[in-house]
Amino acid sequence: MSEYTFKQLSNHTYYIASPSNIGIYEENGSAFLIDSGIDKEAGRQVLKFLKQQKWELALIINTHSNADHIGGNAFLQKKTTCRIAATDMEAPFITFPFLEPAFVSGSYPSIKLQNKFLMANPSTVTDIIPPDGQILETPLQAVHLPGHFFKMIGVETPDNVLFTADSLIPETIIKKYHIFYLFDVRNHFETITMLQERENILYVPSHGEPVQNITDMVEKNREKMLEIIDLILSLVQTPVTVEELLAELCRHYNLEINTNQYFLLLGTVRSYLAYLLEEKKVDSIYGDGNMKWVAR
């Protein structure tokens, strides 16, 4: 079982350090949860902590719909009848989690993709929220962080703590995996630049320790993305399929991947190619039943 550690960040803001960090903001005995962790066990740990503090769970705010961020939703909603809030493009994946492995695979997902890392138990989104501004009647603010997924948000508390979801990847993870999942490369570049320009904020990434100054983290993220772009451009000097391109990238970074990683990385490579197509640096060509990518 994963270790769950409860930490206080400020007067009213806490987080549960876990494989996917969970934020908590408390006001007058009501707890507002920022994501719910990877699975039912995460939900149990949250409920245990809330009971110890004698707080009532009022609302779960899902930053986005990836399974490791909504895995505790179903357990917590069943136990507490709490509300769940998400943006309009993320809500369907929370209500119908089968959509995530289907989206990742681009087809009916094989049984190997129907696991807790890609498919949480279903829960009911009770409130659709905009990606920016006040979140319902709470003192929390949504901050639009597009790039990693469809309409991901961060959540900022009145204590100047910003939970940044998957918009910032710690250097340790970058060094280990090199290629992190992205849906929209252009928007991700813009998001990390915007975050770097904010001041007097404590940032809490979903997969890492809280950090006051993110300049170095942003630069590491940007540098790795630019490195991958340069590498892709070097590999498409002769036409290649996206599968061949992924294989070359894995060889370059010495990556051994499983089923989940294969499909997530394949989608990420396609996102980079879509960005480079918009930039007029690559083109797609068709022949012999194949689509191949080539530098312009």
Sheet holding 133-134, edge to edge: 133-134, 141-144, 153-156, 161-163, 202-204
Give the separation between CA 87 and CA 159, rounded to whole angstroms. 23
**Alpha carbon distance, N-terminus to C-terminus of the chain:** 50
* pLDDT tens by residue, 95-125: 999 999 999 999 999 999 999 999 999 999 9
Element (H, E) at 133: strand 133-134
Q: Which of 207, 206, 172, 166 is nearest to 187 (CA)?
A: 166
Task: Please report the pLDDT score of residue 132 as a whole number.
Answer: 98
- Give the 3-state secondary structure of 15-60: EEECCCCEEEEEECCEEEEECCCCCHHHHHHHHHHHHHHCCEEEEE
Longest dimension (CA), the chain: 66
Task: Please report the pLDDT score of residue 144 as a whole number.
Answer: 98
158 touches 12 (CB < 8 A): yes
* pLDDT tens by residue, 191-219: 999 999 998 899 999 999 999 999 999 99
**Domains in the chain and their CATH numbers?**
5-166 (3.60.15.10), 228-295 (1.10.10.10)
Q: What is the DSSP string of 227-270?
A: HHHHHHHHHTSS-B-HHHHHHHHHHHHT----HHHHHHHHHHHH
DSSP state of 120: P
Q: Which two tokens stand for residue 223?
A: 């540098």
Task: Please report the pLDDT score of residue 94 as a whole number.
Answer: 98
For the chain (length 296 residues), average pLDDT per consecutive 10? 85 95 97 97 96 97 98 98 98 98 98 97 98 98 98 97 97 96 98 94 96 96 98 98 98 97 98 98 96 98
Task: Please report the pLDDT score of residue 281 as a whole number.
Answer: 98
Residues 33, 22, 38, CA angle at the centre, nearest 5°? 110
Judging by beta carbons within 10 Å of its beta carbon (0-12, 13-18, 19+), is residue 227 exposed, middle or buried?
exposed
DSSP state of 287: E
Task: Please report the pLDDT score of residue 3 as a whole number.
Answer: 81
Task: Please report the pLDDT score of residue 1 as a whole number.
Answer: 45
* pLDDT tens by residue, 78-101: 999 999 999 999 999 999 999 999
Give the separation between CA 103 and CA 21, rounded to whole angstroms. 24
Element (H, E) at 272: helix 259-278
pTM, to two decimals: 0.96
191 touches 95 (CB < 8 A): no
235 touches 248 (CB < 8 A): yes
